[in-house]
């Protein structure tokens, strides 16, 4: 797919961050947008901004991608009004971290339901009509560096993102016969609202140590607009793995070709994060269940 012009493109998580930046970038290329987000106010703002700048939004609806029936109803109404889509982008997600002894059942479940089952609901409702239409198209699944690497504290997040990676790896080959490309996006640091809303269980996220970590993260993070440009470029070139920053690309190379060094680095990061947790841990009385 050489251009987004005239392509009907679904983007989840379009109210903020990477999702909003991708929606605005597709609009500038004359794509026809179908947008969703959990936050109705943020979604309305995205739609208003895009239309003010001359972009075309075919449909927009606030919904929770965890709710299969809501996604199914939205898809049914959309297909009735506008037909099948050309591009489906699973961008919506949440971030949950924590040491395993502090994680609660709901932390695991929330990560899986939003980051894995949510995209599955979207794929289930929107890909079969794309296949039936016979026009080809493209599927974009936004995973994470945590879908490639064994990063400390990331067990629930990685469970969901590795799962999405697995789905993408299968569909990469299964959808070739239908002319539908698949891109797995693995962002590293991106300076979005998730920096402040990431749920880190068992630690005080306002401790000086964690505040400094966020500041260092922001200094090395790319902007949502930079990430959006990388994603659109990856789709146009039909790339499977799409990296939004060079550090993750380099890390993946070492993981594949110099595994002993990757293991040493991961162990070092784990020890560093253990030290951070020790300095920032909530007291048992305030509790990780608070």
CA triple 249-166-191, angle to 5 deg: 45
Residue 286 resides in a domain: no
Residue 62 resides in a domain: yes
Residue 151 resides in a domain: yes
CATH of the domain at 127: 3.40.50.720
As a whole number, mean pLDDT of residues 220-234 equals 94
- Residues annotated as catalytic are 157
Residue 1 resides in a domain: no
Count of the separate structural domains present in the chain: 1
pTM of the model: 0.91
Residue 2 resides in a domain: no
Tens of pLDDT, residue by residue over 34-54, are: 999 999 999 999 999 999 999
Residue 158 resides in a domain: yes
Sign for the pseudo-dihedral over CA of 194, 241, 13, 152: negative
Domain around 117: 8-280
Tens of pLDDT, residue by residue over 199-223, are: 888 888 788 887 888 788 777 889 9
Distances (CA, A) of 128 to 6, 79, 139, 167, 273: 21, 11, 12, 15, 43
Residue 174 resides in a domain: yes
Tens of pLDDT, residue by residue over 153-194, are: 999 999 999 999 999 999 999 999 999 999 999 998 888 766
């Amino acid at each position: 797919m050489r251009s987004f012009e005239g392509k009907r493109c679904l983007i989840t998580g379009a109210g903020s961050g990477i999702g909003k930046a991708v929606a605005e970038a597709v609009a500038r290329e004359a794509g026809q947008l179908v947008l969703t987000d959990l936050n109705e106010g943020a979604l309305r703002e995205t739609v208003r901004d895009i239309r003010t700048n001359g972009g075309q939004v075919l449909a927009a609806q606030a919904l929770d991608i965890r709710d299969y029936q809501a996604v199914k109803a939205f898809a049914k109404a959309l297909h009735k009004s506008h037909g099948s889509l050309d591009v489906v982008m699973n961008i919506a997600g949440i971030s949950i971290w924590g040491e395993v002894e502090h994680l609660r059942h709901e932390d695991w479940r929330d990560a899986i339901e939003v980051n894995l089952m949510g995209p599955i609901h979207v794929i289930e409702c929107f890909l079969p009509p794309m296949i039936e239409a016979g026009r080809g198209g493209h599927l974009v699944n936004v995973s994470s560096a945590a879908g490639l690497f064994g990063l400390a504290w990331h067990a629930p997040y990685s469970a969901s993102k590795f799962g999405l990676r697995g789905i993408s790896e299968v569909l990469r080959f299964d959808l070739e016969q239908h002319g539908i490309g698949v891109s797995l996006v693995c962002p590293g640091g991106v300076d979005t609202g998730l920096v402040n809303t990431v749920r880190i269980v068992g630690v005080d996220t306002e401790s000086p140590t964690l505040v400094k970590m966020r500041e260092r993260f922001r200094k090395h993070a790319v902007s949502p607009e930079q990430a959006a440009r990388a994603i659109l470029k990856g789709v146009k070139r039909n790339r499977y793995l799409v990296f939004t920053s060079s550090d993750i690309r380099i890390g993946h190379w070492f993981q594949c070709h110099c595994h002993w060094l990757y293991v040493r680095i991961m162990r070092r990061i784990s020890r560093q994060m253990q030290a951070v947790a020790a300095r920032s841990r909530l007291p048992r009385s305030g509790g990780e269940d608070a």
